[in-house]
Structure 1
Amino acid sequence: MTENLERTYFFDYEHSAIQELVAEYKNSDLSEIEKARQLYLKVRDGWRYNPYDIVFRKDVLKASYIAKKDHGHCIDKAVLYIAGLRGLGIPAKLHLAKVKNHIAVDRLTEKFGTNELTPHGMVDVYLNDKWVKATPAFNQELCRLTGVEPLEFNGEEDSIFQEFNKDGKEFMEYLDDYGSFDDVPFEFIEANMRENYPNLDRLLNEAGELKL
């Protein structure tokens, strides 16, 4: 369990940017569940979801780097949430999967050649003696645009993407589960993206950034 509380290169929660992120929860009377829940909402809505924010450099996946932006993809937001949780003494680890998005995917399919998102990042949080999943990826504004209810997290039950949207249309389908990781598996993430996105190399510039 201690490895899920450690500061790492990516989960650099001692950095001032992460300390600022969690400052309001550090000396409060809130329970661990309430701290995790409030921080979840802060990350979910404070950073706009952007699936095209792909850069193959380790430094841009550091929580302190992500904290200074206003957007990020699902792994970015998971990394930020994990760093914040660990900074509050709450065990957390990265969980990766492959999902298929069935709503508002025209641009995604055009760019990547598929409507599958991989690896999709979420968070395993240890609360009340059990692990629960949290998915702070889609901010409220995006959810309104796609007709999907924003994902809530109560700290007691898994919070994962809905199978259907509010109109009963198929929304998100889980295809594969890559498991949990105590730290960010950078090489796996890059290899997985290159394997699953046939157009990716064409879209990357010399600095390893997505050019859109």
Structure 2
Amino acid sequence: MSDTMEVYLQPTTTIDCDHAAVQAYVDKHIETGQSDLEKAVALYYAVRDDFRYDPYSFRLEEESFKASTTLEAGLGWCVPKAILLAACCRAAGIPAKLGFADVKNHLSTERMRQQMKTDVFHWHGYTSIFLEGQWVKATPAFNIELCDKFGLKPLEFTGREDSIYHEFDKAGNKHMEYLQERGEYADLPLAEMLSDFDRLYGPEMAESFKEHSFDKDVAKEVGS
């Protein structure tokens, strides 16, 4: 493997693929003899469905983004879940990086829009995985129970093509619209992301999220 690819296998502060809990989780979900593609697909579905999507777990301290932290919590929003998948892939010897985009959630609720002052989710996170000679996008944010309950199309992942948010839900309602790509990174660009959040959402947003917990209304806030 080339030196340039090695950076996508290394542990970082948040992509702590060398953490014992991350390695144990990976070992639980992959088997000896599987191809990298088979391993990545298995890890994608594990992270997608074992960890409940919770936009109100939105925290901005560096510790909250660590893969090992998400493992312990059992839930997360899009960025921590993308980081966890990246860490799992790296722990399995598969190059992975973090990708970000701005998306418009046409199904976000009034409650979420009031808190965010917008229906645009800046710095939506996904995982980019190197498989069979190409980088493919994987979006493990929405667990299957949430999709089934609220009529969303679950995101499947084959390892051979991008798995990104659906434009429409099962009923044909407009759901997610990609506005712009922000690029892909070997590590979490936390300072840049926090600067944008402060400028675009205001410093009070993160504090307001701490006042809420996950409930059936919050489960509809499927934008991050």
Cα-to-partner distance string for 1:25-59 (whole Å, 9 max, x where unaligned): 55512111111001100100111111122222111
Matching residue of 1:11:
15
Which of 162, 167, 188 is matched with 1:163 structurally? 167
Per the alignment, do residues 181 and 171 of structure 1 end up closer, same or farther by CA in structure 2, a change over 3 Å counting?
same
Task: State the 1:73 CA deviation.
Answer: 0.5
Question: Contact 2:17–2:67 at 8 Å: present in 1 too?
Answer: yes
Equivalences for residues 98-177 of structure 1 within 5 A: 98-177=102-181
Matched, 1:44 2:48: yes
- 3-state SS of paired residue (2:121): strand
Per the alignment, do residues 3 and 113 of structure 1 end up closer, same or farther by CA in structure 2, a change over 3 Å counting?
same
- 3-state SS of paired residue (1:204): helix
- 3-state SS of paired residue (1:64): helix
Matching residue of 2:218:
none
What percent of counterpart residues are identical? 39
- 3-state SS of paired residue (1:37): helix
Matching residue of 1:190:
194
| Whole-angstrom distance in 2 between the partners of 1:110 and 1:20 | 40
- 4+ long deviations beyond 4 Å: none
- 3-state SS of paired residue (2:183): strand
| Whole-angstrom distance in 2 between the partners of 1:87 and 1:31 | 14
Deviates more, 1:61-70 or 1:86-95: 61-70
Matching residue of 2:220:
none
Name the Cα RMSD after superposition.
1.6
| Whole-angstrom distance in 1 between the partners of 2:31 and 2:124 | 33
Matching residue of 1:94:
98
Task: State the 1:195 CA deviation.
Answer: 2.0
Deviates more, 1:73-82 or 1:12-21: 12-21
| Whole-angstrom distance in 2 between the partners of 1:117 and 1:104 | 10
- 3-state SS of paired residue (1:167): coil
Cα-to-partner distance string for 1:109-157 (whole Å, 9 max, x where unaligned): 1221111112100011000000000000011111123211110000000
Name the TM-score, length of structure 2 as normaliser: 0.88
Name the TM-score, length of structure 1 as normaliser: 0.92
Matching residue of 1:211:
211
